[in-house]
Structure 1
Amino acid sequence: MSADRLEEVLDATYDCLTRYGVRRTTMDDIATTMGVSRSAVYQYVRGKDDACRRLAARLHDQALERARRAAAEELPHAERVQGVLAAKLGLVLELNGASPHTTELIDHKARLFGGICTAFTGDLRRLLIGLFREAGTTVGVEPAEAADICLALVTGLESVTDGERLLRPATQALLAGLLSTPFDAGR
């Protein structure tokens, strides 16, 4: 299977989802967007659900890679935590901005994408727990609790108009209470 052609199928699927949503998108729509026959699309995916699932997985994998890079950078822990959270927020804002239909791709309750979304959040949680273990947390807060608090923060920021701008000050304020060592809030 040609990886490039599969990427074209997923790009066409994304285009269709932004216009029609998951339920109304058809294999004919995907094929037409690509400029190929429907049978040509079936060479790369088993059907619309498979194409949508693979698209959701690709988007989540890309965001997870951004989060992993942020967690591995040689920066203060606070900035690394913020980078992990920015990867999650960026995915949500990208999909919210593309179309009201694309938010289906990040719905952890959706039949097609729920497992992908849940696994993504679990992976982010593990990254954050690792960062908090390295940095140390304030007395009475376990690394897993700190990770859950951070994920709750970014989930809240996903629903406000200015969430991206608020990420840095919100993360700095939150981490001031969670990390055992102070950090430079001016950075």
Structure 2
Amino acid sequence: MSNDRLSDVLDATYTCLTRYGVRRTTMDDIAAAMGVSRSAVYQYVRSKDDAFRQLAGRLHTRALARAREAAGQDVPYAVRIRGVLAAKLELSLQLIGDSPHTAELMDSKARLFGEICTEFTNELRTLLADLFAEAGAADAAEAAEICIALVSGLETAPDSRHLLERAADALVPGLLR
């Protein structure tokens, strides 16, 4: 299977998601967005649901890679932690900003991709807890949970990128003690 063609299918799926949402998108819509026949799309995905699951997986995997990259930098812990949080926030802002429909891909209760969202958040929680533990924080798991809650609260706030920086700069040093 060509990764480029699968990527094209997932890009077309995202385009349809922004226009119609998950429920209203059809395989014909995805095919039309690609400029191919519906049967050509079926060579890369089993169904519309499969296309959306793979799309959600791709977006969350990319955000997790950015978070891991931030965690692995050779900079102070507070900067690394803020970078992990920024990866989650950027994914949310991308999805919320592109269309009202795209936020569906962040819904941990969604039938199609709830487990992807939950796994993503759990991976971030573990990454953050490891950073806090490595830095010598008293309760690394609780600190990670507070940070996840912070980002979740900022997802719909105006100027959330700026607020994340300020909030992390105020919060993380206290959690690292």
TM-score bracket for the superposition, by shorter chain length: over 0.9
Equivalence map 1:24-43=2 (5 Å): 24-43=24-43
AA at the equivalent of 1:68: R
Q: CA RMSD in A?
A: 0.6
Equivalence map 1:125-144=2 (5 Å): 125-137=125-137, 141-144=138-141
Equivalence for 1:175: 172
Displacement of 1:75 in angstroms is: 0.4
Q: Whole-Å Cα distance in 2 between the matches of residues 163 and 170 of structure 1?
A: 10
Equivalence for 1:8: 8
1:73 aligns with 2:73: yes
1:165 aligns with 2:146: no
Q: Percent identity?
A: 67
Q: Whole-Å Cα distance in 2 between the matches of residues 77 and 176 of structure 1?
A: 9
Using the size of structure 1 for normalisation, the TM-score is 0.93
Displacement of 1:70 in angstroms is: 0.1
Q: Whole-Å Cα distance in 1 between the matches of residues 44 and 126 of structure 2?
A: 32
Give the aligned length: 177
Could you tell me which runs of 5 or more consecutive residues in structure 2 were left unpaired when the two chains were aligned: none
Q: Whole-Å Cα distance in 2 between the matches of residues 111 and 165 of structure 1?
A: 33
SS where residue 30 of structure 1 aligns? helix
Q: Whole-Å Cα distance in 1 between the matches of residues 55 and 48 of structure 2?
A: 10
AA at the equivalent of 1:46: R
Using the size of structure 2 for normalisation, the TM-score is 0.99
SS where residue 108 of structure 1 aligns? coil
Could you tell me which runs of 5 or more consecutive residues in structure 1 were left unpaired when the two chains were aligned: 181-187
